[in-house]
Amino acid sequence: MEIKTRKYSLMYGGILGLIGIIFFFMLYSLEMHYERDWKIMAVSVLLLGGAIFLGIFNFRKDNGGFLTLGQALKTGIGIALISGIIAILWQQIFMTFIEPEFMDKMMEIQRQALVEDGRLTSKQIDQQMEMGKKFAWVGYAFAILINLFIGFVCSMIIGLILQKRRP
């Protein structure tokens, strides 16, 4: 009987989602949750890659040591999707109940960066801020797509390394 990848996607995606929330609380307690530093992004990608590896590895182990590339991709992309959905839900909870002024602070940080850059006029900056407010929801779709892309790449690499077909 062939094992379903869904179980592993849900389990490891859920675990990664919880680890992501803990990581966010760590950043929040250090007042680093507004920063978009490459090191924070690198840790996030490593966590995603680690969860995908564990999910695919354990699927293969429970599947009698066999794994196809398709199974690896389904498992890994599923993990990325579940963890991305949890991250977005968590962000909504955070912005609604814990720090309702989060989006305003982020917009002000963006405004300051544009002013310091000096390439846009004050009017252009105001227009860009208004557009940012109107289309903030696009960021969620973009975040899911980035998570899925990274999940795809990680799953492809891990799947190519760990694949073993049944004889």
8 Å CB contact between 33 and 24: yes
Closest listed residue to residue 152, CA positions, set 61, 47, 72:
72
The whole-model pTM stands at: 0.90
Tokens of residue 19, six digits:
């680890």
Measured CA distances, 72 to 1, 56, 149 (Å): 17, 6, 14
Q: What are the tens digits of pLDDT across the range 108-132?
A: 888 888 888 888 888 888 888 888 8
What are the pLDDT tens digits along the chain (167 aa)?
568 999 999 999 999 999 999 999 999 999 898 887 899 999 999 999 999 999 999 999 999 999 999 999 999 999 999 999 999 999 999 999 999 998 889 888 888 888 888 888 888 888 888 888 888 788 899 999 999 999 999 999 999 999 999 88
Integer-rounded Cα Rg, in Å, for the chain is 19
Tokens of residue 152, six digits:
């795809």
Give the separation between CA 26 and CA 41, rounded to whole angstroms.
Answer: 14
